Amino acid sequence: MNGQQHIAVAIDGPAASGKSTVAKKLAKLLGLNMVNTGAMYRAVVWGALQKNVSPNDPAAVVAMLSDFDFECKINQGSSEVWVDGQLLESELRSDAVNANVSAIAAIVEVRELLVAKQRGLLQYGSVIMEGRDIGSVVFPDTPYKLYIDASEEVRAARRAADGEVDAVGKRDAQDSKRKVSPLIVADGATVIDSSEMTLEEVIEAAVAALTAQGLDQSFLDRN
């Protein structure tokens, strides 16, 4: 439990595998705060594009960070990201953000800033946090780790059904090949391949995996 009384449940996996949908349902079921870390990387891209800073120019992005007005808070059980005093929601899912987020997420200084903020959110209560490096880097010591997967075809179809232009295969390749915090199955994580599963089946498998990992029955008894 990272030496603290609050627990962290880590969910990692590639784009559109179902991480945020599963995390939201589990957060309700287990009474945990839900944190979407992808939104934090997306917010840095949004901020850069607003300021005409190229996400592909690491030196310019790092310079921007020195006075970047960025906040991540928990509101009613879910994480919110604010840049320059503005709450960001649908802005984070634009085609321009989708196309540039993997480049910004490969910058070490961006990751250091965001990982520190992610760890800090544990002070407000137990969390279920989803992203790419939660079980491997953010909370490597938590016993509660899931890796939600699905075939590239299924994931591309899910994203298209959401009406988004998003090259999931390209983004995954970039996220898996980068030198810093690449997408991997963290030590101790249980892999759930959701390609052929309904959401209900994924939730059932996730609860079974967390129970096997030792999740306290009191979390499961809450609802």
Q: Using CB under 6 A, which of the segments 15-23, 113-121, 133-141, 183-191 binds ligand ADP?
A: 15-23
DSSP bridge partners of 145: 10
Residue in this structure with the two tokens 């989708």, named with its chain if needed: 98
Q: Does residue 156 bind ligand ADP (CB under 6 A)? A: no
Nearest distance from C-beta of residue 70 to ligand CDP, angstroms? 15
Q: Which does 165 bind (CB under 5 to 8 A by kind): ligand ADP, ligand CDP, none?
A: none
Using H for helix, E for strand and C for coil, what is the string for the chain?
CCCCCCCEEEEECCCCCCHHHHHHHHHHHHCCEEEEHHHHHHHHHHHHHHCCCCCCCHHHHHHHHCCCCEEEEEECCEEEEEECCEEECHHHHCHHHHHHHHHHHCCHHHHHHHHHHHHHHHHHCCEEEEECCHHHHHCCCCCEEEEEECCHHHHHHHHHHCCCCCCHHHHHHHHHHCCCCCCCCCCCCEEEECCCCCHHHHHHHHHHHHHHCCCCHHHHHCC
Q: Using CB under 6 A, which of the segments 81-89, 104-112, 192-200, 207-215 binds ligand ADP?
A: 192-200
Binding mask 57-96 for ligand ADP (x = CB under 6 A): ----------------------------------------
Nearest distance from C-beta of residue 102 to ligand CDP, angstroms? 4
Q: Does residue 55 bind ligand CDP (CB under 6 A)? A: no
Q: Which does 102 bind (CB under 5 to 8 A by kind): ligand CDP, ligand ADP, none?
A: ligand CDP
Nearest to 145 by CA among 83, 64, 206, 81: 206
Site for ligand CDP in 131-190 (CB under 6 A): 131-134, 171, 175
Q: Using CB under 6 A, which of the segments 14-22, 59-67, 113-121, 133-141 binds ligand ADP?
A: 14-22
Contact with ligand ADP (CB under 6 A): which of 8, 9, 12, 17? 17
Q: Which does 162 bind (CB under 5 to 8 A by kind): ligand ADP, ligand CDP, none?
A: ligand ADP
Question: What letter represents residue 219's amino acid?
Answer: F
DSSP bridge partners of 192: 148
Please count the residues of this chain forming the interface with ligand ADP, following the rule CB under 6 A. 15
Q: How remote is the C-alpha of 125 from its chain's centroid? A: 17
State the residues that interact with ligand CDP by CB under 6 A.
15-16, 19, 37-38, 41-42, 101-102, 105, 131-134, 171, 175
State the residues that interact with ligand ADP by CB under 6 A.
13, 15-21, 158, 162, 194, 197-199, 202
